[in-house]
Amino acid sequence: MASPENRAAASGGYAEAAWALTLRRLGAAARQGASAFLRRFDGGYAPATSASVVAPAVAIADLTVAYQRAAALDGVSADFPPGSMTAIVGPNGAGKSTLLKAIAGILRPRAGSILLEGGGPGDIAYLPQSDEVDRGFPVSVGDFVALGCWRQYGAFRAAPAAVAGKVRQALDAVGLGAADDTAIAALSVGQFRRALFARLMLQQGGVLLLDEPFAAIDASTTQALLQLVKGWHDEGRTIVAVLHDLDQVARDFPRTLLLSRRVIADGPTLDVLRVENLARAGFDTAAVAAT
């Protein structure tokens, strides 16, 4: 199992930031404690500090990530060129989410390297799975989205007016313009996924890591969010998304990385999604053919 630190980080560094904001008026001792707590999760959620959307390349070499003694990824090597749009696919337990978390800095590799060529940690923006976020946390949709750039103004200060304007624009872009003051706990699954996308927009990363961005949402919401992703790709950002719908992958993603703890195939999507490759990865190819 992941360590408590990794499990907390996976739930989203923004949740810890929101918690810290509630301590703003509780005195110096509480503020000091919150600052120490936040520093523990400072690895994977730094927003971009540059307005540029020139995407860096991501190069992964011989990457091994393990939970205790069990290797979730074993000797994975892959490249994500600048401005590329890549789907990561594989059966359950293949290490897809683990790979994203390693790139984001949430999980520490046991061996190997991850290089961000032409950028820094602030150029990576990460969208977690919905169930990794504690939706019971008492925060409004607007404040939740604002936490996408909280490091630009600090954990113990109110967001400046410029951030408030960006929040409104992001909420309008995802169709949540009237939900600013709504608690995130009151959102439907699809609405919460839209809020996650709005928060991602404020990070302005050149590399966008999306973990199952369209899971458990209806077709109309999927199409609306997919158009956002395609728009970011058109701007030159590098998109890396964990996906399960192979039809969607074949239709919308030019490149695919097929994982089963190791790289099974990597390259143009239609070449990667051959039946023989899917069988080697452990897919039930009869079930895939029937869908």
Which domains occur in the chain, in start order? 4-51+80-108+119-290 (3.40.50.300)
Residues 154 and 20 sit within 8 Å (Cβ to Cβ): no
Structure token pair of residue 45: 């959620």
**Between the CA of residue 18 and those of 152, 158, 230, what are the distances in Å?**
14, 11, 30
Residues 64 and 72 sit within 8 Å (Cβ to Cβ): no
Of the chain, the end-to-end C-alpha distance in Å amounts to 33
Q: Which residues contact 218 (CB under 8 A, 6 or more apart)?
A: 190
The pTM is what?
A: 0.80
pLDDT in single tens digits along all 291 residues of the chain: 333 333 333 334 433 443 344 333 334 444 444 333 333 333 333 333 334 456 678 999 999 999 988 999 999 999 999 999 999 999 999 999 999 999 999 999 999 999 998 877 678 999 999 889 988 889 999 999 998 886 666 655 666 778 889 999 999 999 999 999 999 999 999 999 999 999 999 988 899 999 999 999 999 999 999 999 999 999 999 999 999 999 999 999 999 999 999 999 999 999 999 999 999 999 988 767 666
Helix (H) or strand (E) holding 63: strand 57-67
Question: What distance in Å separates the CA atoms of residue 175 and residue 194, rounded to the nearest whole number?
Answer: 8
Bridge partner list, 76: 63
